[in-house]
Structure 1
C-alpha cells in the first residue's frame, strides 16, 4: 500500500499545485473585474474630488 502512495504522490502534488494556480488566477481575474466595475461607476471622479480638497 505504501508503494502505491509513494508512486501516486508526485501526481497528486502536481494536480494540487495546478488547482491552487487556477484558483489564484480566477481570484485575481475577479478582483480586476471588481476594480474595473468600480472605475466605470465614477470611482475616479470620487478620487479626483478628494485630491482637489
Structure 2
C-alpha cells in the first residue's frame, strides 16, 4: 500500500525550498561583507573629494 501524503504540505514545502534556494543565490550574488562595504564607501568618498579638488572656481 502507498503512504498517504498531504499534498498541501508537499506543495508548501517545495515552495519554501525554492524560496530558500533563490535567497541563497541572491545573497551570494549581492552580499558584501562589512569590510567590503566600508572599503567601497571610502573609495567613493575619496573619488568625490578628488573630483571636488579639481574644480575650477
Q: TM-score, normalised by structure 2?
A: 0.50
Aligned-residue CA RMSD (Å): 2.7
Q: Which residue number corresponds to residue 15 of structure 1?
A: 10
| Paired residue total | 40
Structure 1 residue ranges, 4+ long, deviating more than 6 angstroms after superposition: none
Unaligned segments of structure 2, at least 5 residues:
49-57
TM-score w.r.t. structure 1 length?
0.53
Question: Rg bigger for which structure?
Answer: 2
Instruction: Give the structure with the higher percent helix.
Output: 1
